[in-house]
Homo-oligomer: A and B are copies of this chain.
Amino acid sequence: MEITRREVLGGIGGLALVVAATPTATPSAFTATVPWKYAKLDLGAVAERGYAAYSQGGCMFGAFEGVIGELRATVGSPYDAFPAAMMKYGKAGAAGWGTLCGALNGAAAAISLVAKPEVADALIHTLYTWYGETPLPNYAPKTPKFKIATSTANSPLCHVSVTRWCEATGLKALSPERADRCGQLTASVAKRTVELLNDMADGKTVAAPAVVAEVVTCLGCHGKGGVLENVHASRGNACSICHEPTGHPIALKK
């Protein structure tokens, strides 16, 4: 027996509100599968949303919310059902541990929600390579707390990225300027993420950059099939950000 919504609404007035809220598919079947449908977003709106969200929940939440919050605002379902606040854990390199930059963690989570796995992998590699090579932040919010000078991290790690910025500016790691730097960096990462996703939506080929030459050289011995195959990482901005490239056994740089 099949009953249309029109028959239901026409026949039982008192139930209209309840029945109107019934989805055409169960929520689980609709939302549990990735990728979710992406719609092109406005870069400036994403960056501003990411900057504002940083103040509410840190860098990972900021980058994720910049993208997914804008999809929630413009597309609605199923994005309105996603518990974006769960991404607050990634702040300061994951709960203060200084590992993966939270903006990069949140951006990767957003990418993985809206792109097929192989596309997501290429986009994340592209984003991380860009992050390490680019003077950041490169987006200035409409109402910034400070005017922020840039630095180049040469690493996706929070600890390295922040310390390099402190060295470049002479400012302190727990200063309000550094907090705002990370907010503007979060906005910059969210904006770059949506540039990549908009290209994807336009059907442009996602061409992930080649792994940088230095990393390829090191992996020649330390990667798959090398004489000392002891490194699992296949990508990076540089090995020499930590390791002294001349002389073996290698020393770690100051």
Contact = CB atoms under 8 A, between A and B. Distances in A.
A58 to B, nearest CB: 10
A83 B235 contact: no
Interface in A4-37: 8, 12, 14-15, 18-19, 21-23, 26-28, 30-34, 36
Given A27-B27, A233-B98, A108 B90 contact: yes
B254 A81 contact: no
Contacts of A234: 92, 96, 98
Nearest to A26: B21
Interface string A228-253: 01111111100000111000011111
A251 B250 contact: no
A177 to B, nearest CB: 12
A220 interface: no
A95 B81 contact: no
Interface in A211-233: 222-225, 229-233
Interface string A83-96: 11111111011111
Contact of A120 (B22, B89, B98, B224): B89
A68 to B, nearest CB: 11
A159 B233 CA distance: 6
Interface in A119-151: 120-121, 124-125, 128
Interface of A: 1, 3, 8, 12, 14-15, 18-19, 21-23, 26-28, 30-34, 36, 77-78, 80-90, 92-100, 104-105, 108-109, 111-113, 117, 120-121, 124-125, 128, 156-159, 162-163, 166-167, 172-175, 178, 222-225, 229-236, 242-244, 249-254
